[in-house]
Amino acid sequence: MKKWIALLVVLLLLLAGYIAAGPYLAINGIRTALAEQDTGKLGKYVDFPALRVSIKAQVEDSLARRAGSEMQSNLLGAIALSVAGNVLGSGVDAMVTPLGIGALLQ
C-alpha cells in the first residue's frame, strides 16, 4: 500500500514539474523557431488567430480612447474612426502572422 502512495506522489510531483516548466518550454520553443526562421514551428507555439483578435481589440480600444468622446459623437468623426479602425485592423492582420512576427523580432 505504501508503494502505491509513494508512486502516486512521485507521479504527481512529475506532473507538477512538467506544468511548471511549460512556460519555459514554450519560450524556448519560440526562441528556437525564430533562430531557425521556421514559421511552422513558430505557429505550433503561438495561437495566431487568438493573438490577432486580442491585438485588434487593444488597437481599437486605444484608438477610441485617444479620439475622445467628442469625435465619437460627431458623424464625421465616427466615420473617420471606423475607417481608421479598418485600416489598423488590416495592418494587424498583415503583421500578426508567423512571417510578420518573425520579421518584427529579427
* pLDDT for 9 beyond 80: yes
Q: How confident is the model at residue 70, as a pLDDT?
A: 76
Is residue 48 within 8 Å of 98, Cβ to Cβ?
A: yes
Is residue 26 within 8 Å of 45, Cβ to Cβ?
A: yes
- pLDDT average, residue stretch 86-105: 84
Q: How confident is the model at residue 78, as a pLDDT?
A: 81
Confidence of residue 11 (pLDDT cuts 50, 70, 90): very high
**Report field, pTM of the whole predicted structure over 0.85:** no
Tens-place pLDDT, residues 20-55 = 988 998 899 988 988 888 888 888 888 889 999 999
Q: How confident is the model at residue 41, as a pLDDT?
A: 87
Q: Which residue has the higher pLDDT, 106 or 36?
A: 36
Q: Which residue has the higher pLDDT, 22 or 68?
A: 22
d(CA 92, CA 62): 14
